[in-house]
Structure 1
């Protein structure tokens, strides 16, 4: 009985790890230079962000943009604002 409980606890721990839809770390094989242009897709398009409110998604998008700009990336734009930027010029 004790082995069965130990097995079920171990199984539940591993099952919870593999069913998670939020990944805290992801390795990237693409190296970007600050001169490269980056187009950030809206978080609303990603199903894993559906639980966030619109205000939370907007805040997170602004935070990502400011973090990348703080690291020296100057050619970065949010895809939703791209049409506005093209029409404005």
Structure 2
């Protein structure tokens, strides 16, 4: 929770953003949401020990770094559309 005295301008702007989600559906002006994150790609250095009755498979904690993936997602919730572009790794 943000204390009102901490940053009144921030709270006012946040209310404006949240009001967007209260608008009625308009196909000419769809609500589009964006999100992005990055994830480290890792590779196991040893094969996992297989599962046995009463015991799950065991994975070693050691890993090899294998780059980073930047993930982007766009969706229009009222349209029921999602776009997750697959881009080439650098």
TM-score normalised to structure 1 length = 0.23
Structure of higher CA gyration radius: 2
Bigger RCO (CA 8 Å, 6+ sep): 1
Structure number with the higher helix fraction is 1
